[in-house]
A and B are shown apart, each in its own frame.
Chain A
Amino acid sequence: MDELELLKKEWKKQEGELPKLSYDQIYRMILKKSSSMVKWLFIICVLEFILWMSIDVIVRFTGDFNEFEEYNLKGFMFVSTIFSYGILLYFILRFYRNYKRIQTTDSAKVLMQNILKTRKTVKYYVWINLSFLTLTALAVVGYLATFTDAYVVEADQEKVPIFIIIISAIIVLSIFVGLVALFYRVIYGILTRRLKRNYEELKKLEL
């Protein structure tokens, strides 16, 4: 193609017009902090781990948790605690390993794959955590409604119908899950939009 060849010829000639930075100017640059998307991804992911961990800790150490003991749920709570910390540990390790794998010296495609993998690790963690939370909550509500008198209205000593309790629990949980999903789309959408577009473009080349 003539035009591109022409451009190629001229391309070399432009070198004289390029800006020239001095040794000191470059030196000052290496002292500054990066503002790359990988750095933001790391910060957001770490914040997520902290957020989910603190929600867990707060629930366990505030008075709410003691109520479960009244209803013979201590063993159940113990097992679920072990389980959720196991999940957390597993995902932190995986996240760390994937994060370390992000190298700017890889090819563009491998680099993009590794970034997307790292982000997915945290995404899976949050979804597993959410489903775990939902199932636990439903199981507890179901148990309390069926086998205990936790939902007895004190004034008239009548039991609230089980299906009302279960349905309202499901509604509350779905609103919660929906909000988290929305939050996710917004945060990661902004951060990874360009990366995803370019990755799709590269993948299209392989077809």
Chain B
Amino acid sequence: MNKELEHSFVTHLEQNQNIVHKVCRIYTSDPDSHNDLFQEITIQLWKAYPKFRGEAKFSTWMYRVALNTAITLYRKSKRSISTTDLDTMNFKIKAEEYDDEVEQQLKLMYAAVKQLNDIEKALVFLYLEDKSYREIADTMGISEVNARVKMNRVKTKLKKILNP
């Protein structure tokens, strides 16, 4: 029984691991912390898995556990983050695919997102993942109106960071 559960969990997660990697990218700035957080999220998902009844989609359920782990449960390791780490990890954008201006804009945008606080990052992440305000509100435990208001504030904040 346990083996079966393990197998179905690992298969599920292997197929949906992108979600976890993306959460790690938003919340960490170097490969070691990325792996650390990925590991912790995997453990938390596994611990919660027996209660996953399949009423929700596996991926929907994953967003909650992954974000909760990143925001609340994960204890950052003491590694210092140098600015060069930040640069290299800021989502490498392949130069050949974009013109210089777009590339530059995106780089600045990622750097701006990194400056947001944990809650704001979660909102931006869910927004980028194309989640509805209803879903964002449910995941965070706030009302839909507040999610909308906060999202607008985050957008303004990002604008300010980008155009000081």
Contacts and interface: CB of A to CB of B under 8 A. Distances in A.
Interface in B40-61: 40, 42-44, 46-48, 51-52, 61
B61 to A, nearest CB: 7
Contacts of B159: 1, 3
Contacts of A13: 97
Nearest to A20: B17
B109 A3 contact: yes
Interface size bracket, A side: 35 or more
B156 to A, nearest CB: 8
Interface string B59-78: 00100110111011111100
Contact of A14 (B91, B140, B146): B91
Contacts of B67: 108
Contacts of B164: none
Interface of B: 6, 9-11, 13-14, 17-18, 21-22, 25, 34, 38-40, 42-44, 46-48, 51-52, 61, 64-65, 67-69, 71-76, 91-93, 97, 102, 105-106, 109-110, 113, 117-119, 122, 124, 127-130, 138-143, 146, 149-150, 155, 158-159, 162
A30 interface: yes
Instruction: Classify the interface of chain B: helix, strand, loop or mixed.
Output: helix
A21 B14 contact: yes
Contact of B162 (A3, A20, A112): A3
Contacts of A205: 119, 142, 146, 149-150
A38 interface: yes
B75 A105 contact: no
Give the 5 A-B residue pairs with the shortest CB-CB distance, closest first. A109-B141, A107-B141, A36-B73, A30-B46, A29-B42
Contacts of B117: 197-198, 201
